[in-house]
Structure 1
């Protein structure tokens, strides 16, 4: 009997211990749940406040204007025309005086240049022969312009511009001579025609009939030189927007905004920059603030301020502003992370303008 009573007592104690343990576990779990709930509530409140700040602490853009000034200069390559060399021997210039040294280096003309052709003796006639092809007959009363130019495939075209006749188009070297009657000569001259048989001292090239002078081996037109690209030169690009002014205020319901903590992200077709507040507007990474009241760069209530952006400093000296028809994007980010986008579009023409709406 006693043994049964002791056994029942032990069972009761064990049950009590288990019960107490369950109560403790439940209490601990409840505490953890309460703490977690509090943490989540606090986190939610913080996140909600941050989201509210980002929504409420925004800037409203009222207007944007641009100051017009001289556009910059851009560097452009300048290409000089190719040249053709007329080379020969036993050449006579200036009405009969021999200058072999002058023509040892060749007679150089620009590609596309026109020379005058004439026969100095009255009653004489002749033809220009270019690589075996004869021109029409010329006489001493004929004033002819001959053009030497580079054709496709690096060929040389010799054309009678006066009569519209292409005498020949062949690959260099091009042989050229004259068939002349009455012991005359065919002259090519640089500038204007002179009276028959006279000379004014300008450069003349005599093309003689090789049958009359066996020592004359004929003229050749050599392969043209390549076009020469000279160092870059500057070219004015007209008017441009040199500075932009964006007038802003707080959005309704926003808190106080200190523009000294504002960041402006500048993006154009040619460059991008991150701008911060600074008194030195000339700096390429600064923007400045012009208050329209006495509160400085801090926005209160309905106060308005002007954000000044020096586009010339940002874009660089060679560009110096925004061209007509171009667009630049500004992203205004407050300290709380609120974002406002502004697109500044330059009008298609800036002629005669001092300031324009963007």
Structure 2
């Protein structure tokens, strides 16, 4: 008779430990995948913002106007009796090398004689002085082709939008000197590298208005000069700031000569 055999149940828990480890491993992989997706999405967003910021920064640095020189013109009558003040400023303006195109329609020019400060926009700008929701902000009777007529209206005209005001203390006008690619016009004043323009700022004084001068340069002002509120007598400190839509602000500071003598056109800057 065989001896009784002892039977023992074999127990192995290693499989249970392996399943737990596998679950933890899978969970870690899922977490890592989610984290990687978030990082990739974040890095993509940051890259886009960095590119956009870099483009804007480059434009801000590289796009700027250069004032080549500034001349002042005195009003006169038919007998060549000259005003005692500078009544029109003519700026010769170009672009810096490598500059982006500049829309003159969006340029704001600030000018002060130490007492009065005028903020001027382009005479063809339809929005700056417009009534709310309208596009009637351009200088009244603005001519889309004739720079000479616009200069005349700048010196002698008024505009009524949301209110009535003199053109002389609200607008500036321009005329092209060099425009090889024909990109610049009165209705679309866009400057590219190499372009050169004249910018006209009215500085007509109250004394010149009361004297009823008939000409400013070759422009007939017999319709009557309108005051810009400025008084550019000899030894006046003048500050001009040109602020484009994007790009570097351009400053031009000068002091008018101690005497204008018999000069109709006076060199002011540099």
Structure 2 match to 1:292: 177
CA distance in 1 between counterparts of 2:249 and 2:16 reads: 72
- Alignment partner for residue 236 of structure 2, among 293, 305, 326? 326
1:326-352 per-residue CA deviation (whole Å, 9 max, x = no partner) reads: 122111111114311111321111121
User: Relative to total residues, which structure has the larger helix share, 1 or 2?
Assistant: 2
**CA-CA distance at 1:9 after TM superposition:** 2.3
SS in 1 for 2:120: strand
User: How far is 1:246 from its partner?
Assistant: 0.6
From the superposition, tell whether residues 317 and 254 of structure 1 become closer, same or farther in structure 2 (CA, over 3 Å).
closer
SS of 2:26's equivalent in the other structure is helix
Give the SS at the match of 2:260.
coil
- Aligned to 1:341, the other structure's residue is in SS state strand
Give a deviation string over 1:298-350, Cα, whole Å, max 9, x none.
21231100111111279984965311111221111111143111113211111
Q: Answer whether contact 1:243 1:321 (CA < 8 A) is retained.
A: no
Return the match for 1:274 from 119, 131, 154.
Answer: 119
Give the Cα separation in 1 of the matches to 2:104 and 2:11. Answer: 86
Q: Does 1:8 find its partner at 2:19?
A: no
Number of the residue aligned with 1:303 = 195
- CA separation in 1, counterparts of 2:228 and 2:173? 23
Query: Aligned partners of 1:314, 1:277: CA distance in 2, in Å?
Result: 23
1:100 maps to none
TM norm structure 2: 0.64
Q: Closer, same or farther in 2 for the Cα pair 1:252/1:351, shift >3 Å?
A: same
Matches within 5 A, 1:81-230: none
Structure 2 CA distance for aligned equivalents of residues 249 and 322 of structure 1: 25
Partner-residue secondary structure (3-state), 2:57: helix
SS in 2 for 1:335: coil
1:246 maps to which residue?
91
Gaps of 5+ in 2: 1-7, 77-82, 125-138, 140-153, 156-166, 208-225
In the TM superposition, what is the alpha-carbon distance from 1:267 to its structure 2 partner? 2.8
- Residues 270-297 of structure 1 show CA distances to partners (whole Å, capped at 9, x for unaligned) of 1122211105424111111111145222
CA distance in 2 between counterparts of 1:60 and 1:334 reads 11
Structure 1 residues 339 and 319, CA gap change in structure 2 (3 angstroms) = closer
SS of the equivalent of 1:239 reads coil
- Deviation (angstroms), 1:2: 5.9
Going from structure 1 to structure 2, the CA distance change for 1:21 and 1:51 (only over 3 Å counts) comes to same
1:122 aligns with none
Partner in structure 2 of residue 96 of structure 1: none
Q: Deviations over 1:67-126 (max 9, x none)?
A: 1237xxxxxxxxxxxxxxxxxxxxxxxxxxxxxxxxxxxxxxxxxxxxxxxxxxxxxxxx
TM-score using structure 1 length: 0.49
Whole-Å separation in 2 of the counterparts to 1:260 and 1:254: 17
Go from structure 1 to structure 2 and tell me whether the alpha carbon gap of 1:13 and 1:3 turns closer, same or farther (over 3 Å shift).
farther
Structure 1: state its 5+ residue gaps. Answer: 71-237
| RMSD across aligned positions (CA) | 2.5
| 8 Å CA contact retained: 1:64, 1:245 | yes
User: What are the equivalent positions in structure 2 for 1:27-106 lying under 5 Å apart?
Assistant: 27-69=33-75
Query: Compared with structure 1, are the counterparts of its residues 308 and 344 closer, same or farther at alpha carbon in structure 2 (3 Å cutoff)?
Result: farther
